[in-house]
Amino acid sequence: MQNKYFFTAMIISMTLQACDSKTKSISLPQPPASVKAVLDELKGKKYQVEKAGTHSVFENDKGIEWLEPKEENKFEKQIVDEEKTLQLDFVNDTAVTVTAKDKTYSGTYKADDIVKEDEKPGIKLRISYINEEFKFGDGPATEVTYTYLVEGISDKSLLLETPRSMNRRKIVVLMNKM
């Protein structure tokens, strides 16, 4: 019986070390200091996704498992390819141009630390724009708001938890300034 627990503990330990080593190999920006600091840093900058990943399966582990799918893993590859098309151009202190999947949208953005239902605490980046994919019948397209958790920010990069998920794990993107 002790061997069974020892083996389970070894598997968990190796998984934690693997997750930790994947995160450490990439320089991540520090968590944001304030909403104002996020807004000041974003204004006038343009970002492109460099890497996509997911948070660790362990709730208390802040590690990121970067997705580097092989060709045969079509599901993961599609998600990574879609995430890598994301560009955010923060034109001024409220306007943003979003490019995703070969489409460009003009919208607005704001940052806050308000925690709404089913949201994690922290600074959120809320981006709103009219999306033609949310058009019903002959009616007009609907404005949608996407909420990103700002996990890190620097003068060169932006680490966001996206509203998307894969296998019940939130997708995280590391964006670099263009």
Please name the helix (run of DSSP H) or strand (run of DSSP E) that holds residue 35, with its range, or none: helix 35-42
Phi, psi dihedral angles at 12 (to 5 degrees): -60, -45
Q: Is 20 helix (H, G, I), strand (E, B) or coil?
A: helix
| pLDDT (average), residues 103-125 | 96
Q: Is the pLDDT of residue 127 over 80?
A: yes
Band of the pLDDT at 62, cuts 50, 70, 90? low
50 CB neighbour count, 10 Å cutoff? 13
pLDDT of residue 42: 98
CA distance 94 to 136: 28
Asked if CATH classification 3.10.450.50 holds for the domain at 2-177, the reply, yes or no, is: no
CA distance 104 to 97: 7
Average pLDDT, the chain: 86
Q: Is the pLDDT of residue 56 over 90?
A: no
CA distance 146 to 126: 6
Q: Is the pLDDT of residue 12 over 60?
A: no
| pLDDT (average), residues 69-96 | 93
pLDDT of residue 11: 42
Nearest to 46 by CA among 157, 173, 127, 164: 157
| pLDDT (average), residues 27-44 | 97
| pLDDT (average), residues 5-12 | 42
